[in-house]
């Protein structure tokens, strides 16, 4: 097999290795009760011992570029997606994208997840965007196919049933900002830099940015940002509505993550089915006319009426106590 790989073209060989990583990692799932750390993502992990790693580093599979951590105790239900491709500043390469896609697919079917926080373990970087070294090896059709895969990944993230928060403690450029835009909410350090810079590289945002940015900040401002390829800081991003919260950076370089975790903790106590249905109602409703949107709201509302959580909410109100929601 090794000899065969040496004779394959570079791009095909990369794709094969990408599939090999995915195949190997599926057989090394770590159960929620297994407190095992991940060497490839060990880096600077503030409070990592409170959670549990999903993927195990294996010799055959190579390094893990995207990992997952489940928080415990009072934070049970918050899951963190950890981007840890240190050498390439979390650039969106074949392996990174493949691992992210598999992980997000797993989260979409996990009813225990209530909030997902996307964060980087690479100091000063959220995601630097496309892996230009890999992209340079692709022909036109391969490049188009890969970008289509990126667009599909961002749609997959946006379609997660639970609320998602992107914590931008550093640069988020091109595809990196598109990843953040695919999340429901965004926090940023004021020192962070973000922008859809594709026009400065002879391209346009191709992983959903040309559609999600106008829906986030408005069409005229989005056009200005994309036409100029301008980068903006965290405070400016807050003022234009690109992020929900902006905070001063701290000494450990994870202020945006801390703010994202605080935001996740505000969501966590709420009825999970109601939150999911509210997300579905808003996401689908914003794409249609108001009359159709009202029908969508009615359908989503009808799905929470028979839940035990709704009964618990009513009982807690009458009994003047805090509700406890089981997600049923």
3-state secondary structure of 129: coil
So which residues are the catalytic ones? Answer: 130, 175, 178, 198
CB 52 within 8 A of CB 72: yes
What are the angstrom distances between the C-alpha of 236 and each of 153, 207, 242, 323?
Answer: 27, 23, 8, 38
Could you tell me which of 187, 25, 48 has the C-alpha nearest to residue 106?
A: 25
Could you tell me which of 158, 81, 162 has the C-alpha nearest to residue 126?
A: 81
What are the angstrom distances between the C-alpha of 82 and each of 263, 264, 309?
Answer: 17, 15, 31
Q: Would you call 80 exposed, middle or buried from its count of C-beta atoms within 10 A (0-12, 13-18, 19+)? A: buried
Burial of 191-214, coded b for 16+ CB within 10 Å and e otherwise, reads: bbbbbbbbeeeebebbbbbbebbb
Kindly state the DSSP code that residue 50 receives in the 8-state scheme.
G
């Amino acid at each position: 097999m090794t000899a065969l790989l040496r004779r394959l073209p570079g791009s095909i060989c990369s794709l094969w290795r990408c599939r090999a990583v995915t195949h190997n990692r599926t057989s090394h799932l770590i159960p929620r009760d297994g407190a095992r750390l991940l060497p490839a993502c060990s880096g600077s992990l503030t409070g990592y011992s409170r959670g549990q790693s999903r993927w195990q580093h294996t010799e055959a599979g190579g390094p893990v570029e995207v990992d997952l951590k489940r928080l415990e105790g009072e934070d049970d239900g918050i899951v963190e997606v950890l981007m840890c491709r240190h050498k390439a500043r979390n650039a969106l390469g074949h392996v990174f994208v493949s691992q992210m896609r598999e992980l997000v697919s797993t989260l979409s079917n996990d009813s225990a997840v209530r909030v997902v926080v996307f964060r980087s373990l690479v100091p000063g970087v959220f995601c630097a965007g496309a892996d230009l070294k890999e992209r340079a090896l692709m022909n036109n059709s391969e490049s188009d196919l890969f970008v289509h895969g990126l667009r599909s990944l961002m749609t997959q993230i946006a379609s997660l049933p639970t609320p998602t928060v992107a914590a931008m403690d550093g640069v988020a450029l091109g595809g990196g900002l598109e990843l953040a835009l695919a999340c429901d909410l965004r926090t940023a350090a004021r020192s962070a830099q973000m922008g859809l810079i594709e026009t400065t590289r002879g391209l346009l945002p191709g992983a959903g940015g040309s559609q999600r940015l106008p829906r986030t900040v408005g069409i005229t401002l989005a056009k200005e940002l994309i036409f100029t390829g301008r980068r903006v800081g965290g405070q400016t991003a807050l003022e234009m509505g690109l992020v929900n919260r902006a905070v001063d950076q701290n000494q450990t370089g994870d202020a945006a993550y801390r703010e994202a975790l605080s935001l996740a903790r505000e969501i966590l106590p709420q009825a999970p089915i109601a939150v999911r249905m509210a997300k579905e109602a808003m996401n689908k409703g914003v794409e249609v006319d108001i009359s159709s949107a009202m029908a969508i709201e009615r359908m989503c509302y009808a799905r929470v009426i028979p839940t035990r959580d709704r009964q618990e909410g009513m009982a807690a109100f009458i009994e003047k106590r805090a509700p406890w929601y089981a997600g049923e």
